[in-house]
Amino acid sequence: MFRVAIGQAEGLDADEVVAEVIGQCEAQLAGCAPVAGILVVAGAVDHARVVAGVRARYPALLLVGSGSRGVMSTPWGYSEDAVGLALLVADRITIRAGLGRACSRDPAGAVATALAEARAPDDDPEALCFAIADGRSVEAAVILRALTDQLAPGCVLFGGAAGVPWDAPNDEPVLFFGDEVLTDAIVALLISGPVEIAHCIENSWTPVGERQRVTASTGAACQRIGERTAVDFYQHYLGPHTQPAFEFPLAVFDCDDPTRYYLRIPITYELERGVVRFSGAVPEGAEVQLTEVMRPHMLEQTRRSLDAAAAELPGAPSLTLVFSCTIRKQILGTQAADETAIVRQTLRDTPMFGFYALGEIAPVVAGGPSVMHNSTLVAVLLRERGAAADAAADPLAWRPRSTGREDQVELLARKLARAEAQRARLEEYRELNNVMLRTIAAEIERSRQEITAQNAELVALNDALAREKQRSEELLLNILPRDVADELKRTGHVEPVFYSAVTVLFTDFKGFTQIASTLSPRALIDALDHFFSRFDQIAGEHGLEKLKTIGDAYMAAAGIPRVRESHAVDAVAAAWDIQRFMAQENRARIEGGREPWPLRIGIHTGPLMAGVIGSKKFAYDIWGDTVNIASRLETSGQPGRINISRATHELVADRFRCSPRGVLPIKNAGSIEMFFVDGPAAE
């Protein structure tokens, strides 16, 4: 069995309030003896008298708790002037409590003492630890680290830092353990046995503005964010102000998962040094962002998170512990009661008990390590594994007696004063929010303009890149055939290829040395460029691949890199057009009194190898006897004529008229039967 009884009452007389709280609990216990209790005191009652009253009724009770800015429970809801008590009844689940003192002197030692006191030799390893600490005497992150190091593996850690009443913000937080009211301490409940746990966290704050990096920070004291001091960072967004804007926490992003973040509240400003001291450590190098919250969004997020947590348990929870941040309550203002109502409605008949803390401890996700949160609501759902839901007694069965009129008047006066203080703070918050919205709007506009300018620059760079790419492509295609260039770009190299039949064409100007001696360098280069440019054009028209020029020699081939059945016809047709072009050029030169450029052409068909050589300057070339024979045919030819081999003639005889020259010797190639091309067969 795992059952909880909850009592909550408002008042100024401690004895009357305790009597009412205990009466409510007794009505729900139905004679069962509680083993542990969580006590929360908000308002102006005497803490010691409240503790003494509870212990007088339950002297063996393991009592832990703290002061708080407010209490929430079912069915009494939310109050900042109440005492709340949750009594836990369990027969299979083990609940033990421990106390650690002097946290400020030795945090790890205080934690060790508390855990040692809460453990027993025969207990199962703890499954859940619920801890409350004095977060002002020692940084809460230090307590968290000590707890994490010393708890059993797999133990889920929840808790928070004790709060103070709204009208005494500078008071020391107090904690309760047994008969004692303490400061500078930590109290812990350890739960072991067949307990099932689910939880949710909800901070509801949304990052706004630019994400920036913390450039100087020591623990919770942050000196610089980006290029500004930490104070200037806040004043940049919120305008001139001297009091910490705790309604605008800092989102600190997880370095392992930049979509997740935890919150840090600004606690104090050191205006002269520009330092902001936050509610917890802000690591140097972390990315941070200012946050804001919308109250309707906060309430809806709470509902969704609770639904998700409840769905994780296989049955109805027996108890939901809720601890929320004091700053969150302040932002909600009068709607804090609405959040409590949402928790009650979402969890329906589940007993709920909670309080407001100055820092919350919980895992970000189930199974993950616990971290210190701020401005966050944490809900922990508990049930006994394998047990049927215990029918809860009617908490309203107890009918409280009326408090005195004077007490009621004083309570109302406190509520009114608190409402006035909240209204004034909300007015300040509204003004800060207005300034922030204007600043964010200006940042968005500046970013929009920067993005527009950057887009224009990127478009220009992209256009320039496209032009350069096109130019590089054209240059590459001037060196290599397109298919070869594509293979080189795709694979980084070109495989050599054997071709069984390719037609190779050579041209050469007879008497070039004599012609060159009569021309200036400029005139010589201009003439060669004029002739070879036209040769390139003709070769392209007939599908030939120009390979290279060597001095006055021009070399091309048909049937590479793509195989063409018409390679011989294409090569001879190109040669005919080249000779016809040169005939026209030479007639014009003779008529103008200039030296003609007589051209010889030799063509041969046969097998060869083709490939790319070079690693810095690429060259596409061909090798084999076919190349050598074509070159010899050119040198064995006559000016103005096309000299072809028998192998080529056999492939073009039906397309071109040819005259046999007989068998002529060729250097290093024996004797070759040759033919002159007289013209196309159709002419």
DSSP class per residue in 589-612: HHHTT-----EEEEEEEEEEEEEE
CA distance to 198, 215, 242, 316, 679, per residue, from 202 (Å): 14, 28, 29, 21, 92
pLDDT of 394: 56
Q: How far apart are CA 598 and CA 585, in angstroms?
A: 10
CB atoms within 10 A of CB 524: 16
Percentage of the residues of the chain whose pLDDT score is greater than 70: 88
User: Does pLDDT of 467 surpass 90?
Assistant: no
pLDDT of 5: 94
SS3 per residue for 141-175: HHHHHHHHHHCCCCCEEEEEECCCCCCCCCCCCCE
Q: How far apart are CA 502 and CA 605, in angstroms?
A: 6
User: Does pLDDT of 200 surpass 90?
Assistant: no
Using 50, 70 and 90 to split pLDDT, how confident is the model at 527? very high
CA distance to 189, 542, 646, 650, per residue, from 606 (Å): 95, 19, 11, 12
* Structure tokens belonging to residue 400: 């409280």
Contact 107, 143 (CB under 8 A): yes
User: Does pLDDT of 127 surpass 70?
Assistant: yes
Task: Pick the closest to residue 571 from 658, 683, 651, 676 (CA basis).
Answer: 651
Using 50, 70 and 90 to split pLDDT, how confident is the model at 492? low
Q: How far apart are CA 6 and CA 369, in angstroms?
A: 30
Using 50, 70 and 90 to split pLDDT, how confident is the model at 413? low
User: Does pLDDT of 659 surpass 60?
Assistant: yes
pLDDT of 406: 60
Using 50, 70 and 90 to split pLDDT, how confident is the model at 430? low
Contact 115, 151 (CB under 8 A): yes
Q: Which residue did the predictor score with more confidence, 451 or 314?
A: 451
Side-chain half-sphere exposure of 647, counting CA atoms within 13 A = 18
Mean pLDDT of 13-20: 93
Domains of the chain by start residue, with CATH: 2-203+294-403 (no CATH), 209-287 (no CATH), 482-680 (3.30.70.1230)
Using 50, 70 and 90 to split pLDDT, how confident is the model at 371? confident
Tokens 């408002």 belong to 10
Using 50, 70 and 90 to split pLDDT, how confident is the model at 109? very high
Mean confidence (pLDDT) of the chain = 86
Contact 278, 266 (CB under 8 A): yes
Q: Which residues of 631-655 are buried (b: 16+ CB within 10 A; e: fewer)?
A: bbbbebbebebbbbbebbbebbeee
Per DSSP, the three-state class of 40 is strand
Strands (E), 417-564: 497-509, 545-550, 553-558
Side-chain half-sphere exposure of 238, counting CA atoms within 13 A = 24
* pTM for the structure as a whole: 0.60
pLDDT of 78: 84
pLDDT of 612: 84
Contact 53, 15 (CB under 8 A): yes
Mean pLDDT of 98-109: 94
Mean pLDDT of 353-358: 88
**Residue range 157-185, pLDDT digits in tens:** 999 888 776 556 667 889 999 999 999 99
